[in-house]
Amino acid sequence: MSKDRRVVITGLGIFTPNGENPNDFWKNISNGKSAFQSKYKDGTPILKEDPSRIGSMLVDYDPSKYFSFKEIKRLDYFAQYGLITAKQAIEDASLDFEKIDCKRVGSIWGTGIGGGNIFEQTSRKFYGEPSKAVSPFFVPMLISDILPGHLSIKHGLMGPTYTTASACASSLNALIDSFILIKNGFSDIIISGGTEARSQICLRGFISLRALSSYTDQTASRPFDKDRNGFVLGEGAACLILEEFEHAKKRNAKIYGEIIGVGMSSDAYHLTAPHPEGFGCTLAMKNALNFADISPNEIDYINAHATSTVLGDIAEIKATEAAFGEAIHDVSISSTKSVTGHLLGAAGAIESIACIKAMEKNLVPPTANLFTIDEKINPKIDLTPKKAKRKEINIAMNNNFGFGGHNCSLIFKKV
Amino acid sequence: MSDQNSKIKDIDIKEVESKVKKIIAEKLGIDEAEIKNDSSFIEDLGADSLDTVELVMEFENVFGVTVSDDIVESINTVGDIIEYIKKRAEETEPK
């Protein structure tokens, strides 16, 4: 790896039920304000007999506010959400594609599923009608790589464009790949991020996995709380512009922070359950710390993956303790999923923006709904319950883990 | 899917033009009034290759004709497809 090339963040975009731009999003998550809904995506109320009656969905979303008829026909929701955030981030970074070398610009996104909604809609027709004709738009709407493809065509980007899929770690993998490519000189700018759109069939699947919260109010997501019982399924997207430091300086770009460490690992254990001791998670955090060449006590804040599941939150805390040693007592930890719910493949990008805003504002966003800390958790660990906390944050770590046992850790630093 | 030998659905030849234009308007999201017989699908109506495939599939479905890839390549304007469908309809009419 090149020691000379540094990778910074020069643009942000976000589109979630908690906020449709980075400032609103930050205001809501730092105030512990969730936006859970008891409605299906089509706006109808969730049935009483449905075992999970709450979600963090963009129920009032109207595609025609953002896209033309022709575009809507070519874009599943996951791609639409991603494009909305990319537009914000490109504007925020003041990127002028006429003035930069687009052969050196790429786009890498993470998504857990891809076009679940178009798959559902097409399948219903396919199995329900005698004609087996499938729209020519089906495949390009379904495939999870298509969002970077659209961005490449729209802006003339001729660098690497693709999608990473590692379930709930997908967009952290996308950011890590983007970092590695810029660091090693393959690209100067990568438009990266994560996106996920909720579909009914996947919701049902998560219910069957006993993964979702059964609470029906705004306290449904309770990471680290003794009464947590699952996550709240969400949807939305976030975009980050990653850029080589000198390239950013030359064009006087605003710099939000630097990526100084990345770590990846796998559990080699179970399809959906975390390893009870979180060995793989520890390894990812240690790899990121080693890469950054810093000691754990230099980390001021950790945005935990902590989705509010019974097994996952405990395994993660054990893993974090093992990676941090004594330094675990000085670091502030929080799970912003307590207010955002779990946006699956978009989680890594969304929580990376939470880390960047936390550094900018020197404020640790809270773990909302943390009423009574689980007794299996060391009470000396600062989980930032209920209220945001003022603290100088120079370095922040973001962790995400996905079904399949994929673990990612990313470290941001103020510039 | 119908093959070359299948009969064209029971369609009044006089309705072909208006039905074709209605389908194009719906699939491309444009006003029917904008669609002229000499409008080129690609240059005037803004269709791309995916739109073209979708339109042909819909014509095949509604009119019960088969439009082979060779024919698709020879079609440029709205009038071309109207003429083709009318011709196929006449061919299958009882003599």
* CA-only gyration radius of chain B, Å: 13
CATH 3.30.930.10 fits A260-413, yes or no: no
Residue positions of A annotated with a catalytic role: 168, 305, 342
B41 chain-A contacts, CB cut-off 8 A = none
Separation in Å, CA A336 to CA A132, A211, A272, A304, A321: 44, 18, 22, 8, 19
Size of interface A-B (CB pairs under 8 A): 23
How many CA atoms lie within 13 Å of B66's alpha carbon, on the beta-carbon side? Answer: 10
Would you state the structure tokens that stand for residue A114, as one six-digit string? 């891809």
Task: Determine contact: A204 vs chain B, CB below 8 A.
Answer: no
Burial of B79 (0-12, 13-18, 19+ CB in 10 A): middle
Would you state the structure tokens that stand for residue A277, as one six-digit string? 């001791």
What are the residues whose beta carbons fall under 8 Å from the beta carbon of A52, sequence distance 6 or more?
A46, A203, A206, A207, A212, A213, A214, A230, A233
ipTM of this complex: 0.84
Paired with A191 in beta bridges are: A107, A241
Determine, for residues A135 and B57 on separate chains, whether the beta-carbon distance falls below 8 Å: yes
Burial of B52 (0-12, 13-18, 19+ CB in 10 A): middle
* Mutate which: B6, B24, B51, vs A, most A CBs within 10 A: B51
Biggest CA–CA distance in chain A, Å, is 66
Determine, for residues B50 and A133 on separate chains, whether the beta-carbon distance falls below 8 Å: no
Identify the segments of chain B with pLDDT beneath 70: 1-10, 93-95
Task: Kindly list the domain boundaries of chain A, sorted by start residue.
Answer: 8-250, 260-413
Cα separation, A138 vs A141, whole angstroms: 5
Task: Determine contact: B26 vs chain A, CB below 8 A.
Answer: no
Determine, for residues A70 and B29 on separate chains, whether the beta-carbon distance falls below 8 Å: yes
Task: Tell whether the torsion through CA atoms of A166, A237, A11 and A415 is positive or negative.
Answer: negative
- Contact between B12 and B85 under an 8 Å Cβ cutoff? The reply is no
What pLDDT score does B8 carry?
A: 66
Per DSSP, B33 falls in state G
* Residue A132: how many other CB atoms lie within 10 Å: 9
What are the residues whose beta carbons fall under 8 Å from the beta carbon of A413, sequence distance 6 or more?
A257, A258, A259, A260, A292, A359, A394, A395, A396
Four-point Cα dihedral B24, B49, A88, A388, nearest 10: 90
What pLDDT score does A203 carry?
A: 86
Cα separation, A331 vs A381, whole angstroms: 8
Q: Decide: helix, strand or coil at residue A116.
A: helix
Q: Residue A9: which of A109, A102, A93 has the closest Cα?
A: A93
Task: Determine contact: B29 vs chain A, CB below 8 A.
Answer: yes
Identify the segments of chain A with pLDDT beneath 50: none
Out of 3.40.47.10, 3.30.1330.50, 3.40.640.10, 3.30.200.20, which CATH number does the structure's domain A8-250 have?
3.40.47.10
Task: Tell whether the torsion through CA atoms of A95, A12, A266 and A364 is positive or negative.
Answer: positive
A8-250 and A260-413 share one CATH topology? yes
* Mutate which: B30, B54, B62, vs A, most A CBs within 10 A: B54
B53 chain-A contacts, CB cut-off 8 A = 136
* Residue A174: how many other CB atoms lie within 10 Å: 32
Determine, for residues A131 and B1 on separate chains, whether the beta-carbon distance falls below 8 Å: yes
Question: If you count them, how many residues does chain A have?
Answer: 415
Determine, for residues A70 and B53 on separate chains, whether the beta-carbon distance falls below 8 Å: no
CATH number of B13-92: 1.10.1200.10
Per DSSP, A345 falls in state G
* CA-only gyration radius of chain A, Å: 20
- Choose the catalytic residue: B12, B31, B48, B70: B48
Determine, for residues B29 and A137 on separate chains, whether the beta-carbon distance falls below 8 Å: no
- Annotation marks residue B48 as catalytic: yes
Task: Kindly list the domain boundaries of chain B, sorted by start residue.
Answer: 13-92
